[in-house]
Amino acid sequence: GENVEQHPSTLSVQEGDSAVIKCTYSDSASNYFPWYKQELGKRPQLIIDIRSNVGEKKDQRIAVTLNKTAKHFSLHITETQPEDSAVYFCAASKGQAGTALIFGKGTTLSVSS
């Protein structure tokens, strides 16, 4: 079955710096790759997603890139702010009936001011 590896497990940056989180997946049939942000004690919230027919997607300070050949995708956060501190999860799905998301283990991002 699908396996998603996520790195790093923790990431500390200074406010204003950029942060990059990387994920690799094993199943070449996966075609949908969302990123979720989970603040302490709260539910995961979708922050951005990308589908396999697109190589890059951007939403303000957040961008995701996808390399289908290498089976990896990355989250880029620019101009980080303290409120970006949270756990970030990548996930992969085949996008077919069943909609099972296979998640990475998460990255704890700490942004210090």
Partner 1 sequence: KAGVTQTPRYLIKTRGQQVTLSCSPISGHRSVSWYQQTPGQGLQFLFEYFSETQRNKGNFPGRFSGRQFSNSRSEMNVSTLELGDSALYLCASTPSGVTDTQYFGPGTRLTVL
Q: Which is nearer to partner 1, 10 or 112 (CB)?
A: 10
What DSSP letter does each residue of 12-47 carry, written as one string? EEETT--EEEEEEES-TT--EEEEEEE-TTS--EEE
Q: Which is nearer to partner 1, 13 or 101 (CB)?
A: 101
Least CB distance to partner 1 at residue 19 (A): 19
Least CB distance to partner 1 at residue 99 (A): 6
Least CB distance to partner 1 at residue 93 (A): 5
Burial of 86 per CB tally in 10 Å (0-12, 13-18, 19+)? buried
> For 50, what's the count of Cα atoms within 13 Å in the CB-facing half-sphere?
22
Q: How far is CA 49 from CA 16, 71, 79, 99, in A?
A: 23, 15, 20, 14
Q: Which residues bind partner 1 (CB under 8 A)?
A: 1, 32, 34, 36, 42-46, 49, 89, 91, 93, 95-106
Q: Which is nearer to partner 1, 13 or 102 (CB)?
A: 102
Q: Which is nearer to partner 1, 42 or 60 (CB)?
A: 42
Least CB distance to partner 1 at residue 8 (A): 14
